[in-house]
Amino acid sequence: MVEDTTKRNRAEGELRLGNEIIAKMQGALYLVRANDGAVVYANPSFEKMFGYDSGEIIGKHVSTLNAPTGKTPEKVFQVIVAELTRCGHWRGEVLARRKDESTFWSSVIVSTFDHPGFGKVWISILQDISALKHAEQTLREQAALLDLAHDAIFAADVKDRITFWNRGAKDMYGWSAEDALGRMAYELLHTRFPSSFEEIKATLQTQGEWEGELEHTTRDGTTITVASRWSVQRDESGAPISFLEINRDITQRKRAEEQLRNLTERLSLATHTASIGIWELDVRTDQVEWDNTTFAIFGIPRTVPLPREEARRHIHPEDVPRVQAASRRAVQRKTQESVQYRIIRPDGSVRYISTAEGPILDEHGNVVRLVGTAVDITERKEMEAQIEASARLSALGMMAGGVAHEINNPLAIIHGAAVDLLRRVRACGSVPLDIALRNGERIVETSNRIARIIKSMRHLAREGSHDKVRPTPVTRILAETLEVCRERFKNYGVNLLLPNLDPALSVSCRQVQIEQVLLNLLQNAFDAVTEQPGERWVRLAAVTQDDAVEFSVTDSGPAIPQQLKSKIMEPFFTTKDVGIGTGLGLTLSRRIVEDHGGKLELREENGHPCFSFRLPLSSHKEPYAA
Amino acid sequence: MRLEEASVLLVDDEPLLLDMLREFFEHLVGRVFCAGDGVQALQILGRQRIDLVITDIRMPEMDGITLLKRIKAGESHTPSLIFITGFADIGARDAYDLGAEALLEKPIEWDDMIEIARRSLAEPWERWEKPVNLTASPVLSRSFGSLSSAFEEHRIAFGRGGFCIGNSEFLEQGPVNIALDFMADEYVLSGQGVIRWLASEENQMGVELTYVADKSRARAIKLMERASSFIPRTTESNYQKLAA
């Protein structure tokens, strides 16, 4: 008995201890009778956790404690029962339901036990893991956010093994998270470091982060350049526990940068080789920046910074207003402008410069800078002047050929009159007074005619571009022009059709230049029709249209073929045989007409080519007389 | 016909020149008529028998070439015709082909004009009987198998006053000594002439005969008298007429 008592005492003592442990333990413990699922015991922690009064839960079915998730509480119960029946215990997470219907995630361990009083029961020990679950959820959300980032983001532990690999990393490198997790990052990605890995590690240690460019090789073998940011996470003691690496693919940018650099180098080489100066004007600071070529063109040593005023000092004083006007236009109208001007080099030589400039706008559309080119066109100018001179000479040559036609008839008259006088004197020793008078008058009258022709020719051979624009009677323009070509038309049987003009009709022009244009058009028309068989005519017209007079020259030749129309006014274009014409006539004519504010146009008149241009009618109120 | 008996029609659109031509010819020829252009000239030709027309080529209304064509087309007597032109190079080939006897250049050499007028009124045997000194001038020397083969092959064509022939020697305009040998015919046309026009692209030239040696003169006249051209414009043109 003693033994029994001792035994029983010991057993009672153990039971009390057990009860006390159960009552005091943090975890919720409850017993469920296996045959009906009713709760038969719940410890105080349970009652506190679930919000029940003492003993209140006893007798209720266990599924009361479970909230519906994807499955119903009954289904959860069946799953657990099945597992318990199979192997005697179950472990899992359950969404628990408090008395007030609120829920929390719990971790549950269930095992079976033969209770002396209740028979077969399930012992459930349950812990509130809602805080953990919440943290997990947050983590998942963060990971999902990280997946949204286009950057490759991955984490590695202190042994450089990858512990996190976002979707951006998968997209960038072609390795999935399964491929990457646990691998050494620098091995997987064949990282090429700008300095050594150890140095980067050291920087991370001391500064907590590192930034730089790395080269990685993706799964398909492509090498990419990334902008990389590394940071370190530490525990409370400050010891590193993981490294986070965020990489952005800058391969395209690098390539673009490279291309831009190449392009800039090439452009620079090209502009240098072509002697094209590049300059920039900062509109806000009025500072000018020139490249070396521009300095070379201006013949001055490199100066930085270069105030605009200083740059302007090298421009020919007469041309400064034009240069400034062009820049002003470019800024105000935000347009591309070009201007030709002269500069004076320090050695006193004058060079011709051609500039094209355009505005650079900020994001608000304000002009912040002007960028332009500068090309020395002195040689070109000289060549143009030579070509023009030779074109004028060639026109003169053609006119000289024309002289023969123009003065042959009058010369024949003078010659005839003189011969007649001589013959009479020789035959009779004297000349009757009336015959002498008549022949004398013929000689004077005809000499005057020749003098007029020569005067017109000299007049027409003048350069004329510096003459003043004056009101000029149209009849005078036509008379002077025709004086030097009328006979030629007659000699070749070309019918020259002329307008009947009001002698008061006047246009504003540089007379000589307009006569040159008309003569050139008449000459072209003449050349065109003399090549043609059949009827030959050239019609010169001057028609008043609104406040202008349209001059036109039409010839009986066939219309100019479409493919020649656009070329016909280009320099050096000619359809004439070698030696006839320089191909500059129409170009110069067009220039003269454009200088007069008009346009030399080619159209068709009843299938015949017609060149025309307009000059403004001159008002008689103008201060200077014609 | 002698110049002193001839009726001469002067045509020029330049009134002063026409005036002077009239004064010049008035006491040299039988009768003088004047016209300012081709139309007036044709009117006069319709009323009067004219032996010689001296006309400008380039005139308004109707030019000299057209006038000549109209004269040729007319049924009445065909006068001799001399052109006066500012430029002998314009239309010379056509003018001679149409039958003009001469082209005078302005300013006019009045004495030459009288000489040319005389010649154009004269018969061929008179025209071609006097040689001039041409020792310094080039020689146009050509051999042909026969007259007929030369015609068939278009190597020469005769007009009333000269011939058209290929210019293989690149001769210039001006006086030239002539020796044309037609072997099968045992005929050598020798004499003197003046190259009146050159058509360099076609390599042809027009030669006026000014003298034909006595022994070849009669045959030359026979050979050439039927032609309507004074100098044909190509070696091909006259052949057909001769053949017909």
Going from the first residue of chain B to its last (244 residues), give the mean pLDDT of each consecutive group of 10, the final group possibly shorter.
92 89 89 93 92 88 86 82 79 88 86 90 87 89 91 90 89 92 93 92 92 92 88 75 44
**Mapping DSSP to helix (H, G, I), strand (E, B) and coil, where does residue A314 land?**
coil
Q: Where are the beta strands (DSSP E) in B12-133?
A: 31-35, 52-56, 80-85, 102-105
Q: Are strands B52-56 and A240-249 parallel, antiparallel or unpaired?
A: unpaired
Whether A405 shows a pLDDT value over 80: the answer reads no
Whether A329 shows a pLDDT value over 70: the answer reads yes
Write the DSSP symbol of residue B161. Answer: S
The candidate with the shortest Cα–Cα distance to A354, out of A319, A388, A387, A330, is: A319
d(CA A300, CA A312): 13
Neighbours of A197 (CB within 10 A): 11
Minimal CA separation from B95 to chain A, in Å = 14
Q: Is A487 on the interface with B (CB under 8 A)?
A: yes
The neighbouring-strand residues paired with A184 are A161
Q: How high is the pLDDT of residue B183?
A: 92
Radius of gyration of chain A (CA): 53
Nearest CA in chain B to A412: B107
Which range of A10-14, A131-135, A619-623, B125-129 scores highest in mean pLDDT? It is B125-129
Q: How far is CA A269 from CA A272, A275, A590, B61, B216, in A?
A: 5, 10, 37, 70, 84
Q: What six digits make up the tokens of A199?
A: 């140095």
**Mapping DSSP to helix (H, G, I), strand (E, B) and coil, where does residue A31 land?**
strand
Minimal CA separation from A408 to chain B, in Å = 6
B-chain residues near A411 (CB < 8 A): 106-107
pLDDT band of A626, cuts 50, 70, 90 = very low
Q: How high is the pLDDT of residue B238?
A: 53
Q: How high is the pLDDT of residue B243?
A: 42
Write the DSSP symbol of residue A355. Answer: E
pLDDT in tens, A428-450: 888 889 989 999 999 999 999 88
- Are A121 and A113 in contact by the 8 Å Cβ rule? The answer is yes
Lowest mean pLDDT among A1-10, A29-38, A103-112, A136-145: A1-10
Q: Are strands A28-33 and A119-128 parallel, antiparallel or unpaired?
A: antiparallel
Q: What six digits make up the tokens of A298?
A: 């201006």
Lowest mean pLDDT among A62-66, A179-183, B6-10: A62-66
Neighbours of A366 (CB within 10 A): 13
Mutation pick from B10, B13, B14, B16 vs chain A, by most beta carbons of A within 10 Å, is B16
Work out the widest C-alpha separation in chain B, in whole angstroms: 55
Q: How high is the pLDDT of residue B240?
A: 45
d(CA A554, CA A563): 19
Q: How high is the pLDDT of residue B107?
A: 82
Point out the residue among A417, A445, A493 whose CB comes nearest to the CB of B20: A417
Interface touch A416/B24, C-beta < 8 Å: yes
Nearest CA in chain B to A435: B23
Interface touch A491/B108, C-beta < 8 Å: no
Q: How high is the pLDDT of residue A624?
A: 43
Mean pLDDT, residues A45-55: 88
Number of H-type helices and E-type strands within chain A: 19, 23
Q: How high is the pLDDT of residue A501?
A: 87
Nearest CA in chain B to A401: B87
Percent of chain A with pLDDT over 70: 93
Mutation pick from A403, A406, A419 vs chain B, by most beta carbons of B within 10 Å, is A419
- Are B169 and B138 in contact by the 8 Å Cβ rule? The answer is yes
A334: left (phi over 0), alpha (psi -120 to 50) or beta: left
Share of chain B residues as helix, strand and coil, in percent rounded to the nearest 5:
35, 30, 40
Lowest mean pLDDT among A89-103, A206-220, A448-462, A470-484: A448-462
Mutation pick from B12, B18, B19, B20 vs chain A, by most beta carbons of A within 10 Å, is B20
Point out the residue among B17, B24, B110 whose CB comes nearest to the CB of A413: B17
d(CA B46, CA B40): 10
Minimal CA separation from A416 to chain B, in Å = 7
Whether the bond into A68 is cis, omega within 30 of 0: no
Point out the residue among B16, B24, B58 whose CB comes nearest to the CB of A491: B58
Q: What six digits make up the tokens of A355?
A: 């500039």
Q: How far is CA A309 from CA A57, A187, A302, A353, A595, in A?
A: 97, 61, 15, 18, 32
Q: How high is the pLDDT of residue B85?
A: 83
Q: How high is the pLDDT of residue A160?
A: 86
pLDDT in tens, A590-609: 888 888 888 888 888 888 99
Q: Is A445 on the interface with B (CB under 8 A)?
A: yes
Q: Which residues are within 8 A (CB) of B29 and not within 5 positions of it... i.e. 6 or more apart?
A: B3, B4, B5, B6, B7, B8, B52, B117
Lowest mean pLDDT among A217-221, A490-494, B99-103: A490-494
Q: Across chain A, what does the average pLDDT equal? A: 85
Write down how long chain A is. Answer: 626
d(CA B183, CA B226): 23
Nearest CA in chain B to A411: B107
The neighbouring-strand residues paired with A554 are A539, A610
The neighbouring-strand residues paired with A281 are A288, A370
Point out the residue among A405, A411, A491 whose CB comes nearest to the CB of B107: A411
- pTM of structure: 0.53
pLDDT in tens, A273-314: 888 899 999 988 888 889 888 999 999 888 877 888 888 899
Mean pLDDT, residues A254-272: 84
Q: In one letter, which amino acid is A126?
A: L
pLDDT band of A586, cuts 50, 70, 90 = confident
Please, what sign has the CA dihedral across residues A117, A121, A123, A124? negative
The neighbouring-strand residues paired with B103 are B83
Pairwise pLDDT comparison (A38 vs A625), residue with the higher score: A38
- Are A596 and A511 in contact by the 8 Å Cβ rule? The answer is no
- Chain B, 93-132: which have a CB under 8 Å from a chain A CB? 106-108, 110
Q: How high is the pLDDT of residue A625?
A: 41
Please, what sign has the CA dihedral across residues A432, A438, A444, A446? negative
- Chain B, 16-55: which have a CB under 8 Å from a chain A CB? 16-17, 20-21, 23-24
A-chain residues near B26 (CB < 8 A): none
Q: How far is CA A155 from CA A136, A141, A520, B84, B113, in A?
A: 17, 16, 85, 112, 120
d(CA B152, CA A487): 43
Minimal CA separation from A545 to chain B, in Å = 32
Interface touch B86/A487, C-beta < 8 Å: yes
Minimal CA separation from A610 to chain B, in Å = 24
The candidate with the shortest Cα–Cα distance to B160, out of B241, B229, B65, is: B229
Interface touch A416/B14, C-beta < 8 Å: no
Mean pLDDT, residues A106-111: 90
Q: In one letter, which amino acid is B193?
A: G
Point out the residue among B23, B63, B106 whose CB comes nearest to the CB of A493: B63
Q: How high is the pLDDT of residue B90?
A: 66
Q: How high is the pLDDT of residue A62?
A: 86
A-chain residues near B60 (CB < 8 A): 490
- Are A312 and A298 in contact by the 8 Å Cβ rule? The answer is no
Minimal CA separation from A482 to chain B, in Å = 16
d(CA B207, CA B195): 4
Whether A480 shows a pLDDT value over 70: the answer reads yes
Interface touch A442/B20, C-beta < 8 Å: yes
Whether the bond into A307 is cis, omega within 30 of 0: no
Nearest CA in chain A to B108: A412
φ and ψ at residue B89, rounded to 5 degrees? -75, -20
Q: Is A400 on the interface with B (CB under 8 A)?
A: no
